[in-house]
Structure 1
Amino acid sequence: MINNIAERIKEVRNQIKQATQAAQRQPHSVQLLAVSKTKPAADVAAAHAAGQVDFGENYVQEGVQKITQLQHLPLTWHFIGPIQSNKTKDIAEHFAWVHSLDREKIARRLSQQRPAHLPPLQVLIQINIDDESSKAGIAPAQLEQMAQLIASLPQLQLRGLMTIPQADASADQQAHSFAAMQRLFLQLQTQYDQIDTLSMGMSNDLAAAIAHGATMVRVGTAIFGARTN
């Protein structure tokens, strides 16, 4: 399995390289986030042995368990799932990044509960770019207000934006959504110096996301295989 995961990571990195070349971008301008939800700690360790450092988790309890099991490894953990109020303390204490921030209450709780001895939590604002009722995220019109709030909180550092576009969108719809996210991201960069992360694109739409400025792609299935639940 270790060789299998290593080979898959190599293949995904090659896809990123090809997509960046097609978009006339540098390969190092796109970071790979390995989404390890529902996968055992042994798989994460195998991915790390293949050179992967950044890992994304959707479920707090499962993520914290893996972080604890693998604390001897120099890994960077990203929380990318929906955030419940009663889970903010665990997220603030264990993760380095949060991709799915979309509520003022959650932002305030994360800042208050981030331990003082840790660096600020690096956060991305989740945008519901296709206005889907089933998806989390704020509307683009709410971005300025949310960004101002995060900038005012001492234990959070705003780094950019994240989105999960419509799953069954056509290529044209997909490109439209990614282009809209790129415009929001570039606009945010003119307002805050530290904005450098646009988290969008997964196993199936990685190339399209990179063509529209993604700086981080979230890949799970193509690295670890199909999820077990």
Structure 2
Amino acid sequence: MTSIQQNIEHITSQIATAQQKCGRTRETIQLLAVSKTKPVEAVLEAAQAGQKEFGENYVQEGADKVSYFQQNHPELSLEWHFIGPIQSNKSRIVAENFDWVHTIDRAKIAQRLNDQRPINLAPIQVLIQVNTSGEASKSGTDESEIFALTELISSLPNLTLRGLMSIPANVSDHESQLHAFHQLAELKDKLAAHYPALTLDTLSMGMSGDMEAAIEAGSTMVRIGTAIFGARDYSNKA
């Protein structure tokens, strides 16, 4: 048994325990393994342990991994999520390689991803990133702009809106974490009520330090990196 496999089993057990505490079933939440800065060998270990969904923050690094696995391990049928900020000049690479994008926060990026998605690929499953903390340093739209962005995305044939994503303020106490996550969950409920024709079934929220609060608030996808792959090396990242 590899250490990565052990880590995945440990995180999976933690998710199950957190769900049991709040009366949720295991099938309602997805583990997204955040593999940024990690080599393809580590991703392969995780995939061989049964992990299928991977998140990447850096456009070219992520695209290179997508290409590697398509060419060398197509039988694994991995699902690739882009979870980092998107610059306009790199949107085409994202559109051509990723199955999911979690970080749409403005109309320009949504339009570019739609226009640049190859016609032979399925629509990109997308999430609107919301800045629930109001921190200037964090990406994401605010509540006042979400409905207009939803209107746009729902009109674009190569994008399918699935829900919301957030990276709240880094706080350690459970109640503060819970409050931030409840904000996002309530916002998704408002959107779902306003747009009943859309399948808004995804809340991407929660990482290693606040996963339990995120699950309690209704997260359907937790983004876990270091707890699976170990400490990251950012020495080659700008």
Tell me if TM exceeds 0.5.
yes
* SS at structure 1 position matched to 2:127: strand
Instruction: Give a deviation string over 1:2-25, Cα, whole Å, max 9, x none.
Output: 610000000000010001101100
TM-score, scaled to structure 2: 0.94
What corresponds to 2:26 in structure 1? 27
Aligned-partner residue type, residue 112 of structure 1: D
Stretch deviating more after TM superposition (93-102 or 167-176)? 167-176
Q: Structure 2 matches for 1:17-56, cutoff 5 A? A: 17-56=16-55
Give the whole-Å Cα distance in 2 for the aligned partners of 1:44 and 1:19.
25
Partner of 2:203: 198
1:47 offset after TM fit, Å? 0.3
Aligned to 1:59: 58
- Are 1:172 and 2:175 counterparts? yes
- 2:136 is aligned to 133
- Structure 2: state its 5+ residue gaps: none
Structure 1 residue 52, shift from structure 2 partner = 0.3
Q: Please state if 1:74 is matched with 2:77.
A: yes
Specify the code of the residue in structure 1 equivalent to 2:166.
T
Aligned to 1:15: 14
Q: Alpha-carbon deviation of 1:202?
A: 0.4
1:159 matched to 2:162? The reply is yes
What is the distance in 1 between the residues matched to 2:178 and 2:229? Answer: 27
Number of the residue aligned with 2:192: 189
Is the contact between residue 172 and residue 209 of structure 2 (CA under 8 Å) also seen in structure 1?
no
Write the deviation string for residues 31-67 of structure 1: whole angstroms up to 9, x where unpaired. 0000000000011110000100000000001001111
Q: What's the secondary structure of 2:2's corresponding residue?
A: helix
Deviations 1:191-221 (A, max 9, x none): 1431110000001111100000000000001
In the TM superposition, what is the alpha-carbon distance from 1:171 to its structure 2 partner? 2.7
- Paired with 2:97 and 2:205, the residues of 1 have a C-alpha distance of 23
Which residue does the alignment assign to 2:227? 222
Task: Report the Cα offset of residue 187 of structure 1.
Answer: 1.6
User: How far apart are the structure 1 equivalents of 2:218 and 2:114?
Assistant: 29
Percent identical pairs in the alignment equals 51
Shift of 1:170: 3.5
Distance 1:10 1:156 in 2: 33
SS in 2 for 1:20: helix
Give the Cα–Cα distance (whole angstroms) in 1 for the partners of residues 146 and 110 of structure 2. Answer: 14
Deviation at 1:169, TM superposition (A): 5.4
Deviates more, 1:167-176 or 1:46-55: 167-176
The answer as to 2:88 corresponding to 1:85 is: yes
Deviation at 1:173, TM superposition (A): 2.0
For 1:120 and 1:51, how far apart are their aligned partners in 2?
A: 25
Shift in Å, 1:172: 2.5
The AA in structure 2 aligned to 1:228 is: D
Count of matched residue positions in the alignment of Structure 1 and Structure 2: 228
Residue 149 in 1 paired to residue 152 in 2? yes
Aligned residue identity for 2:30: Q
Superposed CA deviations along residues 87-143 of structure 1, whole A, max 9, x for unmatched, are: 110000000000000011110000000011111111000000010100000001211
SS in 2 for 1:157: strand
